[in-house]
Chain A
Amino acid sequence: MAADNIEDPEAFRQRARSWIRSNLELMDRSVLAAALGGGASEETELAGIRREREIQRMFFDAGFAGICMPREYGGQGLTPAHQRAFNEELAGYEFPHRLQAPNFSPCAAVILDFGTEEQKRRHIPAILKGEELWMQLLSEPGGGSDVAAAQTTAVRDGDEWVLNGSKIWTTGAWWSDWGLCLARTNWDVPKHRGLTVFIFPLHREGVDVHRIEMLNGSKEFCQEFLTDLRVPDTDRVGEVDEGWTVGVRWMFHERMLYNSPLVTLPPGARFTPGSGSPADVARDAGVLADSHVRDLIGEARVLDIAGRELQQRIAQGVRSGRISDQGAAIARLFGGVAGARTRTIEFEIAGAMGGAWTDDDGAAAGLGVDFLMRQAACIGGGTTEMARNVISERVLGMPRERSSDRDVPFREVPRGPSAGARSR
């Protein structure tokens, strides 16, 4: 033990290693790929979630849950170096990958930043034990990138709020427990000044969860319809009409996802599809000797490692204050563009198997579908276009884009015909 009573990261690593080896199964990559790619049945998926909750509980009981979370809320109160050591030791083993985002970051991170003492004591330990799975209700059908233009409305009624509206692109809401929701509480002030954040259980009267089928067959994304949903004022996060303060931090945690010290993610594991590396694809497609293919294998590896090192640099810089919080957009942009390029590379290497394949084609099978979903890497978690705006305007200080919604009551902001119902 060091002088400040923090376990030495190397000792922690040793302890983690022996615990992982004697308690966890090796990761079955095909199961992970099927889960991420949408190929699993509902029963398989729910069984997977149950197992992940179980592993999370094992983490908690063994002292490996919430490594960087404060001890008073059930965390370990350790450092990012400890989380990194744990991540590294976890490589190759099963881990609760669907419990990471948005459950730990941004949801738990936002509760930690802005929740009341009571909210933190009630929810953080439950999240760390795998008892509560959280989802973020942020985007709306009327607008993806323009998050602050939320139209889901909360109206005060005594000690309660009544919510109406719709949220979309919530991952796994159908098997989750709680939601973090950005809603409009004031239509008569400019858009950023009339928002408030609420939390509520997802499976209760007033919340209707619909699963959306993506073009690859995945039904992980959901849309929720909120109809006269009553939320007690004690489940409000942050001040009334100050929701954007929470929202800015919320989106920071979202962009930091891959490098958040709150997230458990073994190196090499991804939240994106693909059951093998480009080299595996080349081997199974029988084109490993092709010089052009080898160039592509090298390129994918370069992007992968450069992205990893960039994430670490930005995370380190943000922690020490050398890089502003907005710098997280740099890693988000790079990750999106590199991810899309890598999907293209894998598809290219697969050759004709990219268009038609059998289940015997190994890592080369199904890459055409991943290619169809390629742009998801540049859309989900905030588009790369938004990241480019943030980098140029907030990091480099270039002039802001013109907008018609600044200093105008939100009620008077023009909304196109596709934006759904206008204000009431």
Chain B
Amino acid sequence: MLLEPTSDQEFFRENTAKFLSDQVPPGEIRRLRDDPDGFDADYWRRGAELGWTSLLVDEAHGGGSLSGQGLIDLTLVAYEFGRHAAPGPLLSTNVVASALSRAGGEEHGTVLDAVLAGTSTASWCFQERLAGLTAGALEIRVEGDELVLSGEKRPVEHAAQAAHLLVTGRSGDGATQVLVPAGTPGLTIRPMHTVDLARRFSIVRLDAVRVPLDAVVGTPGQAAEQVEHQVQTALVILCAETVGTMQRAFDMTVEWAFDRYSFGRPLASYQELKHRFADMKSWLEAGHAVADAAALAVESRAPEANELVSVAKAFVGQYGGELIQDCVQIHGGIGVTFDHDLHLFLRRATLDRALMGTPAEHRQRIAADLAPQEDR
């Protein structure tokens, strides 16, 4: 997280932190395991009032940032979501709101208003099996004054709770994005299992789903750049959230090391453990540093943004997981019980590691940019 936030940013972050501590303490997160939606509509609306949904949206469209760098501001929220393993479709609503603000037409104004107000949510249908971080195989055809969508997206965050789905697919060689209202004929949403207690995921299937031409966001076949920006934005949010989970698990475990005595002395006095804490601290600080660097690069449209988001995702994905698993190890048996809080952060970090490209996939992406294979 930002090493030196402005006082506005600090106030904003603290507001969100306090709200999350009050509204979704660990006991509430545990309870959400059995809640089909995973979050409460009123909770989300109040979060929107705190600014969770508006940071990537142009002021002219009712949004606005604190610092003039909306994505950086949003990383503060995502970080606190990680630190609290908080419920809610933070990634998907922000990506969709940003897309509608940047590329959407007049027709999308009311949808955007509702997403901004938190009175409804929107979901982004992007990933497919074996499609990497591309627009995928889902086909979007123009037929007269209609668009016809066919294909399958998975996993889609909070699709079943969303009023609208932003579907990314391909039209020939180009990428196209379409805003599809929930309940459109041909659309089926099948819930999936997930490691997280509060986030919900679905398979979204579109069987010749027909929507009017003005449902397109941007121009048919020409959405590649916009999709790339959404991918970068999503990765920045996931990395900031993961760093939040790392920070919380680390803080909990440091505290535990001081409180827990074995053989008459605190765990924190054993050099073997002290040295592991030192390693974890170096991963944690590097995670903060690389996640912030990625956010800044995307926000400022720097040429190295693509590489930095992959570096950040590969780093926090790998080391975040290692760090929290080591925290579990240092806790011992209690660290793998449902009653203890540690697994809430392990779950969120594990989920985030798997979404939008694993560390290994991002290492391949980095290598592809560094060393294109000319002869293949």
| Interface positions of A (Cβ within 8 A of B) | 277, 279, 282-283, 288-289, 291, 294-295, 297-299, 301-302, 305-307, 309-310, 312-314, 316-317, 320, 322-323, 327, 329-331, 333-334, 337, 385, 387-393, 395-396, 398-399, 401
Contact = CB atoms under 8 A, between A and B. Distances in A.
Contacts of B315: 302, 306
B289 A398 contact: no
B290 A305 contact: yes
B363 A334 contact: no
B131 to A, nearest CB: 18
In this complex, which of A288, A309, A320, A337 has the most chain B Cβ atoms within 10 angstroms of its Cβ? Answer: A309
Contacts of A401: 271
A336 B375 CA distance: 36
Contacts of A329: 278
Chain B, interface SS category? helix
Contact of A391 (B282, B307, B308, B368): B282
Given A282-B371, A309-B293, A295 B282 contact: no
Given A288-B371, A294-B363, A302-B314, A313 B281 contact: no
In this complex, which of B269, B274, B376 has the most chain A Cβ atoms within 10 angstroms of its Cβ? Answer: B274
A312 B314 CA distance: 19
Given A310-B289, A313-B3, A398 B311 contact: no
B288 interface: yes
A297 B376 CA distance: 18
A387 B277 CA distance: 12
B289 A333 contact: no
Contacts of B367: 279, 294-295, 297-298, 301
A306 B115 CA distance: 35
B3 A316 contact: yes
A295 B371 contact: no
B157 interface: no
A305 B363 contact: no
A288 B375 CA distance: 10
B359 to A, nearest CB: 8
Contacts of B364: 291, 294-295, 298
A55 B325 CA distance: 50
B366 A388 contact: no
A297 to B, nearest CB: 4
Interface in B109-142: none
A340 B293 CA distance: 24
Given A313-B289, A316-B3, A297 B371 contact: yes
Nearest to A334: B282
B362 A298 contact: yes
Interface in B345-376: 360, 362-368, 370-371, 373, 375-376
A295 B285 CA distance: 24
B178 interface: no
A51 B169 CA distance: 59
Nearest to B374: A288
Contact of A302 (B281, B292, B366, B375): B366
Contact of B360 (A295, A307, A327, A399): A295
Contacts of B292: 309, 313
Given A297-B370, A298-B366, A395-B281, 20 more contacts: A294-B367, A295-B360, A295-B364, A298-B314, A301-B307, A305-B293, A306-B286, A306-B287, A306-B311, A313-B3, A333-B278, A388-B275, A389-B275, A392-B268, A392-B278, A398-B258, A398-B269, A398-B274, A399-B266, A399-B269
A330 B284 CA distance: 10
A310 B281 CA distance: 11
Contact of B286 (A310, A396, A398): A310
Given A279-B371, A289-B376, A401-B271, A310 B282 contact: yes
Contacts of B4: 316, 320, 322
